[in-house]
Structure 1
Amino acid sequence: MINNLLSQNKFPFILGGDCSILLGSAIALKQKGNYGLFYLDGHTDFMDVSLSETGGVGGMAASIVTGNGHQKLTNILNLSPYIKEENLCCVGNREYDDEYENEIIKSSATYLSLKELRKQGIKNAVQSFLLEVEKKKLDGFWLHIDADVLNDSVMPCVDSRTPDGLTYNEFNELTSCLFQSKRLTGLEITILDPDLDETGQYTKEFVANITSTFNQNFNN
């Protein structure tokens, strides 16, 4: 399905469950060319299975799509890696555990924790990524959004709650910069669990923010 949309120059906007849906998106992208990945998440999802408490693919999605892990997942259709490691930009992690962070720090991916993102500045960080997309002459880039990148006070309806996170002002500033890029190929949203939002207030606020920002800035 994603492959067909890309072939028709349409923009896939995917609502998913957990982050493992990235595998399908990444495989479709690899079949079309050489793409970058902006991974906006409260966690890196970049680790070996030996560090995983659950062994779930969702917690290792960024690592798997860049070719790290068992070949049954990393080399479907002999396409490994679906996204080159150096074309991954992982942004927003706030699980500050040395062993956990070291996995992506020692990789060739670009890594900006939440602290580093704020230090560098959102616009500067996004522009740096977009310049790399142009410099490398990539066919485009995919945007992965995990709802748990948001501050826990405004988005508690996730499966791995962690203190802090992006405010909506920060989130909207970041996504608006990405939505304006003609190189944005598609996006996916994961982890927001409506069963954890009994009144629907958090989901409504999220939808209002992302649709407003998207409609105002999308430039493809």
Structure 2
Amino acid sequence: MNQQLRDIRLIGVPMDLGQDLRGVDVGPSALRYAGLADRLRRLGHRVTDCGNIPTALRASLDAYDDYVEPIRDTCNLLYKEVRRTLARGQFPLVMGGDHSIAIGSIGGATHDGPKGIIWIDAHADYNTPASSPSGNIHGMPMAVLCGSGSERLTSVGRSGPKLRSEDIAMIALRDLDVAERRILQESRMGIYTMRDIDERGIAAVVKSALNQLEHCESLHVSFDVDSVDPYFAPGVGTPVEGGLRPREAHLLMELIAEDGRLASAEVVEINPIIDERNRTAELAANLLASLLGKTIL
């Protein structure tokens, strides 16, 4: 077991406004029901559940609204909470909610200086309103964090870009839109698709990503559970076949934990409504335990 013990603050963000499929707003509750806090306490961590960040309910909003304003408001609150948590020397573990919450969590995590971002996701989420086929904001947070898209979102917490491309490593990509492919090919990000994992193995890929981020003093993990193959994690917002197997995902998390630089994390896109007996949240809770020090021996 990794003995780096932390003061962990669980922060729920039950927001589903960044996409069309209802249910990801129940993600924080599913993780709580799966016993996430107790799993982490058994590893020796101090764990406090801080409840949920206030989020507008879809039913209370105009059906034709683009939801940018309520998403911005929630992300501003999350930004401040993550920033405060880190300033107190604690570890923020954010429970979504759809992936648009990363605008607030990563923004807050980088307020006092750059961090390496390990983006574990089937998708790059690097669309803008001009390029997005769906217009859903959960497909835009990485673009927003890099300074592209609506000014109402790029100004969350503070104005301008929150991330530099050389501070980003994306792992498990397998579903990219045309505009995203071009941007990623021209960027300085570390891009690791499922083909890379198939050809090289997950250990080599993770070690390469960590080496690429060796200039970063600390790391933030943004874990979209759709990175895992839907055979094992059916309850996610945007499932894509051909993803990580559970053992690959555990090793990914274990290697990040062993690196020793992890400072904050989030888990997103769990949808209990389309899940099977909460198995996706159970798997996610187990994977987060691996990220925070659980090992086989």
1:145 and 2:220 are equivalent in the alignment: no
- The structure 2 residue matched to 1:201, chosen from 266, 279, 293, is 279
Gaps of 5+ in 1: none
Question: Are residue 155 (structure 1) and residue 233 (structure 2) matched?
Answer: yes
**Which residue in 1 is equivalent to 2:99?**
19
Instruction: Describe the superposition over 1:57-89 as per-residue Cα deviations: whole angstroms up to 9, x where unpaired.
Output: 210111111112222212335442111122111
Q: 1:211 is matched with which residue?
A: 289
Query: If the length of structure 2 is used for normalisation, what is the TM-score?
Result: 0.67
Runs of 4 or more, structure 1, over 6 Å off, are none
The answer for the alignment partner of 2:265 in structure 1 is 187
Contact kept? 1:39, 1:62, Cα under 8 Å: no
Richer in helix (by share): 1
Match of 2:127 in 1: 47
Q: What's the RMSD between the two structures over aligned residues?
A: 2.0
Aligned partners of 2:94 and 2:266 also within 8 Å: yes
1:209 deviation in Å?
A: 4.1
Q: CA offsets per residue over residues 98-141 of structure 1, 9 Å max, x none?
A: 5542232222212111112332332222222222333x2x2311
| Conserved? CA contact 2:125–2:138, under 8 Å | yes
List alignment gaps of at least 5 residues for structure 2: 1-80
TM-score of the superposed pair, with normalisation by structure 1 = 0.88
Q: Is the 8 A contact 1:40 1:92 kept in 2?
A: yes
Q: 1:71 aligns with which of 136, 151, 154?
A: 151
Deviates more, 1:202-211 or 1:108-117: 202-211
Instruction: Tell me how far 1:41 sits from its aligned partner.
Output: 0.2
Q: Partner amino acid for 2:97?
A: G
> Are 1:178 and 2:256 counterparts?
yes
Task: Name the SS of the counterpart of 1:142 in structure 2.
Answer: strand
Letter in 2 for 1:151: D
- Find 1:10's aligned residue among 90, 93, 101: 90
Secondary structure at the aligned position of 1:31 is classed as: coil
* CA 99–34 in structure 1, closer or farther in 2 if over 3 Å, else same: closer
Secondary structure of the residue aligned to 1:68 is coil
SS at match of 2:111: helix
Structure 1 residues 190 and 77: alpha-carbon distance in aligned structure 2, compared to 1, 3 A threshold: closer
Identity %: 23
CA contact (8 A) 1:39 1:88 kept: yes
Structure 1 residues 17-166: aligned runs within 5 Å? 17-95=97-175, 98-134=178-214, 136=215, 138-166=216-244
Give me the whole-angstrom Cα distance separating, in 2, the residues matched to 1:212 and 1:178: 9
Contact map agreement 1:143 1:187 (CA 8 A) in 2? yes
For residues 47 and 12 of structure 1, what CA distance do their matches in structure 2 show?
26
Q: Residues 103 and 49 (structure 1 numbering): CA distance in 2 closer, same or farther, change over 3 Å?
A: farther
Which one is further off, 198-207 or 78-87?
A: 198-207
Q: State the distance in 2 between where 1:29 and 1:97 align.
A: 27
Q: Can you list the C-alpha shifts for 1:126-180, whole angstroms capped at 9, x where unaligned?
A: 222222333x2x2311100001000110111112121110000110111110122
How many pairs are equivalent? Answer: 215
